[in-house]
Every structure is written in C-alpha cells, then in structure tokens.
Structure 1
Amino acid sequence: MPESGHTWRKPFKAEPIEARHVRLWTAGRVKHPDAPLIAHELYVAVLQSGAPVVEMGIWTAGNRIRITADGPDPLPLLSSHGPGWQIVCSLADLTGLATDECGVWAQLGTKR
C-alpha cells in the first residue's frame, strides 16, 4: 500500500519580515516541533542569494516531512555551509542542495 501525503507550495517575498510568516505557515501544516525552525533557516539561506521571491515547499509521506526553499539563482556557498545550515543539519535527518544549486532542502522523520 503506497504512503499517502500532502504537498504545499507557497512563494514568499524575499524580505526578512517574511521569515515569521514562513514559520507560521509551516507550523500550520505539519506538527513536527523542529519544522518551523528548519523552514526559517532554509528561507534565510535562499534570502541571502538576493532572490526577489523564495518558493517554500512542504511534502509529507507517512512519517516523513520534506521542506524546501528555492530561488531563481544559484545560492552562495555560505547558504549551505554557514551557521544556519549547521542548525538545519543538527535538526534534520537528511539535508541537501537542489541539483540546480538554486535551493536547499531538509527531511525529517527518516531516523528510526
């Protein structure tokens, strides 16, 4: 039996004040206690690239949650190696850079 899940995507203006809305939007969709902070840090990572809009995404399947943040341009190296990224890596089970290098992602719920 395949796992069922949900998908949400939303563009946010690339402004620091929107980080609060990203946290609230995430908390309203998934109940994992670390998800809002992870979404915040992913948003900030893409925000640093100077993108005009940050596209956030949440996917669920079974007990797994994947959170993504994407922009239109490749991210600076600091986005996937800076202090915020260390927070994401500490809280998430899996993390990565999008194949086009324009986004970052984190996954929760894969550790058993």
Structure 2
Amino acid sequence: MIRHIVMFEFAKEAKGKTAIENAVIAKDLLLELTQKLDFIRRMEVGINASEAADTNYTLCLTCDFDSIEDLNRYAVHPEHLRVGEFIGDVRISRACVDYEL
C-alpha cells in the first residue's frame, strides 16, 4: 500500500476568490476523483482550520493506493490532470511525500 500526502499553499487571492474559497473548490474536485478512479483506495482532504496558524499550508490531501503503479496511473490520469490544472492556477507552493504502509 502506498500513501500519497500532498500539501498546498494557496495564493491569498486567485481567480477572483480567496484562498479558502479556492481550497473548498479544490477539495470538492479532489473528492469527485474517488467516484471516477476506482484505484484510489482512500482519500481525505483537509482545509487548514481558521483558528490554526496562518503559516500552515492551506490544504492537505492524503490518498492510499494499492501500489506505486496505481499512484503513477493517478498522476497521469486526465481527470487528475484537470484537477491539477485548477490547483496549479491557485497555489503558490506544494510539498509531497509518498511512502509504503
């Protein structure tokens, strides 16, 4: 099993929306992927709490896959790329780690 964790820092404003508004859109788009890609075993998406430090990342994505091959399929899948395009337009940084469970 492979766990894929990605954290995104969103621009304070992008596409006419705040970071949190864009994070909510991104969360919805990401969660829709679980209905479209049957090789995602588990997905959790969290948005930084309003009371938490503003130096934290805006959004955290955690996904589980059966194998690194499935993670690689996810990475290049057109549905994932569509979501990634939106996030790429509103984020200012990204951090990621993939590890075996």
Structure (1 or 2) with the greater strand fraction:
2
Structure (1 or 2) with the greater helix fraction:
2
Give the number of the structure with larger relative contact order, counting CA–CA contacts within 8 Å between residues 6 or more apart. Answer: 2
TM-score range relative to shorter protein:
0.3 to 0.5
TM-score by length of 2: 0.44
